[in-house]
Structure 1
Amino acid sequence: MNNCLHCGARTANPKYCSRSHAAIHTNQQAPKRRLTYKCAECDTLIPASRQFCAVHGKRKADYRLLTVAQLKAKDAIKHPSYYRGYLNSITRLLNAHRPRICQVCGYDKHVEYCHKVPIKAFPDSVAVQVVSGPDNILVLCPNCHWEYDHSLLTINSAPFST
């Protein structure tokens, strides 16, 4: 008779008394994924969902002050194709205080942020806050967004404007 490597119980099996104890012991010894990571700036342990610790996360550059050129630069994002997604996330942050209701029809299940002046119309030297700030953004449902982009909808006819 042998002892289970997990609980110490007597077993006929050479190592474990059950499959669950084998799995528990193996996963504790060699987990498949890391549950904690190190900060990109220092060796402080942080949750896997973060990149920086509390100290270094606050020191990062303010995204509102970035220019479009800085946002497109290779050191700001990993790949040039990520620019649009990163700009969309900044747009959501800059407009988080606004109600999530379509300014035209009042639909509130799903809304999108629509640029009044297209992004490509701005020079690269303009701050992201101007491109994606509340003054250049409309909160619209997908249907109204499409209509606005195809010049079928005007802003002056919006009864639910905020």
Structure 2
Amino acid sequence: MKCKRCGKETTNPAFCSRSCAAAFNNRKYPKRSKQQKHCKHCGISIISGRSTCDACNPFYVDWSIITLRDVKGKALYQHSARVRQVARSVYRQSDKAKKCIVCGYERYYEVCHRKPIKDFPDDTPISVINDIDNLVALCPNHHWEFDNGLLTL
């Protein structure tokens, strides 16, 4: 039997190697490039697999207008967990170092609020609580020390 791509003798009924199989099949079925689409609500052009833009997306949340009171109203308990989740996202997207600022440990870090969430009034927007200047990366040991007053930043 001969390889469909290169013509070498092979025991496999179609191809002599995975490389030949991939080259043959990739030429036959080329990758599709993403097409420019338009938002189904407002018509703005978007270049992703989504059907709506950020402004029309019903699940998009503008954290600059959502307050701590709004989050507490939706989550009867563990409202701070949602605030911390947004904080981790803000920190990940920032250019700050992704390691403990005290010891430099970089395998795992936790995002910590310099001013605790509980110290903010209920009418404070989440974007203020999770401002990048209020967030810091700490290893679990230094995070515990900071939360228990043994470490000052």
For the aligned pair, the TM-score class normalised by the smaller chain equals: 0.5 to 0.7
Q: Which amino acid aligns with 1:95?
A: Y
**TM-superposed deviation, 1:81:** 2.4
> 1:150 & 1:138 partners in 2: Cα distance?
16
Q: Which amino acid aligns with 1:152?
A: L
1:138 aligned counterpart, secondary structure:
strand
* Alignment correspondent of 2:152: 154
What's the TM-score, normalizing by structure 1? 0.55
* Alignment correspondent of 1:91: 87
Aligned residues: 101
From 127, 130, 134, the equivalent of 2:128 is: 130
**TM-superposed deviation, 1:54:** 3.3
**TM-superposed deviation, 1:57:** 2.7
1 or 2, which has the higher helix percentage?
1
Q: Which amino acid aligns with 2:70?
A: Q
* Alignment correspondent of 1:144: 142
| Cα deviation 1:84-141 (Å, max 9, x = unaligned) | 2211211012212122110100000111111111111110011111112112112100
> 1:150 & 1:95 partners in 2: Cα distance?
22
Q: Which amino acid aligns with 2:61?
A: A
* Alignment correspondent of 1:69: 69
Aligned Cα root-mean-square deviation (Å): 2.3
1:18-29 paired onto structure 2 within 5 Å = none
Identity of aligned residues (%): 33
> 2:85 & 2:51 partners in 1: Cα distance?
21
Contact 2:63 2:125 in 1 (8 A): no
Contact 1:94 1:129 in 2 (8 A): no
What's the TM-score, normalizing by structure 2? 0.58
> 2:64 & 2:89 partners in 1: Cα distance?
10
- Unpaired stretches in structure 1, ≥5 consecutive residues: 1-41, 43-51, 156-162
> 1:149 & 1:95 partners in 2: Cα distance?
19
